[in-house]
Structure 1
Amino acid sequence: MDGSQDPQLHSLDARSLRGLAHPLRMRLLNALRHGGPATASQLAAKLGESSGATSYHLRQLAAHGFVEDAPERGKGRERWWRAVHRGVLFDGTLLEDRDPEVRGAADLYLHEAANTHTREVATWLGTRHDWSEQWRRSSDMSDWTLSLTPELARELGEKMYELIESYRSLALDEGTPDVEQVRIHTHVIPTRTD
């Protein structure tokens, strides 16, 4: 989907993809995007990693422009990090790059994104009883099968993206009653019937 005009989205190129395509780096970046600024130690505790590993990978993410210091949060020697962008745009041509290292990083990135979606759905299923009845009724796990051409599949994806973006403009304040972050996963993928 085309969000290339949105400064809050980072378009992945071969260099930045190499800097991001690591399972822990992707988890760190997601944690900062969804949970806000944090220290390497806080992220280590949240993700079950060592603070040495999180510190190293945060520095790598910073070197590639995905995270930056959040000095207004730090006290003393404590270093806080925040995400620079709210999301990334993946260019499918990276999967066809001449460099096998780029193709491998692109493949790893997509597999880790799918793993993240699976973890988020599994977490919802395991904790749905902790949410109000209103939130349980508002959640959705649906799937459909349509017969489309590649052009129509792309159009469908673009329309879904536009619809989701229209809700972003509502920008409800975190203090509004019943406001929660909502994760939306979209997958438009071809399948075979045999």
Structure 2
Amino acid sequence: MPTTDPQDGDPVAKPPQLLDIDARGLRALAHPLRLNLLNSLRESGPATASGLAERLGESSGATSYHLRQLAAYGFVEDDPTLGKGRERWWRAVHVGASFGPEFLYDPDPEVRGAMGNVLQWVASVHAQEVGHWIGTTQDWSRAWFEASDLSDFKVRLTPELSRQLADEIHALINSYRGRVSEETEGSAVVRTHLHMFPRSTS
């Protein structure tokens, strides 16, 4: 099951709580601006519609509208601890989301299309993040460059073994949560992508 788990700057000892999206929520989410708004709130924390508009290069009217739509489907909510007067701050409700494979085989073409749009967006963000890292490696120490990884592997598996491998990788990554506090000198949030897919040999 694909998952999106943006950078969690506050490590915890257990896996983060992910939103299990249903078909209705998936259709509501499958809009590029809504995906970018939700991702920005997860990555950078609470913000106002105008702040997000400036960050994403959009109009505040558009960000305000789509934030209200995200709130209607439970993706974001008001942050009452930050608002002053009429200023409205928004925060993400969950740190990430999971998507069931049934959406790709749903009889409703709108659901299948929404799933495809979300997956394409996720793949695009991953590519952008890798490209940004490569373009900024000189801004980091040699130790961090040597600690990074950009590898690919090829191994013959059955669907069951591929699922088992993915689950074990998820468990391994989650076992590192909570080991390093935010105040630890020299630490950084490490972004890890997992792509697993079959390839034709013909």
TM normalised by structure 1 equals: 0.92
Structure-2 residue corresponding to 1:39: 48
- The one-letter code of the counterpart of 2:117 is L
Q: Equivalents in 2 of 1:134, 1:184: separation in Å?
A: 17
Does the Cα contact within 8 Å between 2:2 and 2:99 map onto a contact in 1? no
Aligned positions of 1:7-22 closer than 5 A: 8-22=17-31
Instruction: Report what 1:128 is aligned to.
Output: 137
Query: How far, CA to CA, are the matches of 2:27 and 2:99 in structure 1?
Result: 12
Q: What residue number does 2:182 align with?
A: 174
Quote the Cα distance in structure 2 between the aligned partners of 1:19 and 1:105: 9
Tell me which amino acid in the other structure corresponds to 2:133.
W
Equivalent in the alignment of 1:149 = 158
- Secondary structure of the residue that 1:167 maps to in structure 2? coil
**Equivalent residue in structure 2 for 1:186, among 179, 194, 198:** 194
What is the identity, as a one-letter code, of the residue corresponding to 1:125?
A: I
Q: Which has the bigger relative contact order, CA under 8 A and spacing at least 6? A: 2
- Quote the Cα distance in structure 2 between the aligned partners of 1:57 and 1:152: 40
Q: Measure, in 2, the Cα distance between the counterparts of 1:40 and 1:180.
A: 28
Letter in 2 for 1:192: S
Asked if the contact 1:40/1:51 (under 8 Å) is kept, the reply is yes
Aligned to 1:138: 147
Q: 2:2–2:100: 8 Å Cα contact kept in structure 1?
A: no
Contact 1:94–1:102 (Cα < 8 Å) also in 2: yes
Off by >6 Å, runs of 4+ in structure 1: none
Cα distance change, pair 14–112 in 1 and its aligned pair in 2 (3 A): same
**What are the Cα deviations for residues 119-174 of structure 1, in whole angstroms up to 9, with x where unaligned?**
1111111222112222222111111011111111000000011111111243x332
Is contact 1:2-1:158 (8 Å) kept? no
Runs of 5+ consecutive residues of structure 1 not aligned to the other structure: none
Aligned 8 A contact 1:68 1:83 in 2: yes
Task: Give per-residue Cα distances to partners, 1:54-104, cap 9 Å, x unaligned.
Answer: 111111111110111111012222111111111101101111111111111
Counterpart of 1:179 in structure 2: which amino acid? Answer: S
1:30 to 39, 43, 50: 39
In structure 1, what is the Cα distance between the partners aligned to 2:141 and 2:58? 31
Aligned to 2:62: 53
Establish whether residue 75 from structure 1 lines up as the match of residue 88 from structure 2. no
Q: Which residue of structure 1 lines up, in the alignment, with residue 9 of structure 2?
A: none
Deviation at 1:7, TM superposition (A): 7.4
Task: Percent identity, please.
Answer: 58
Structure 2 unaligned runs (5+)?
4-14
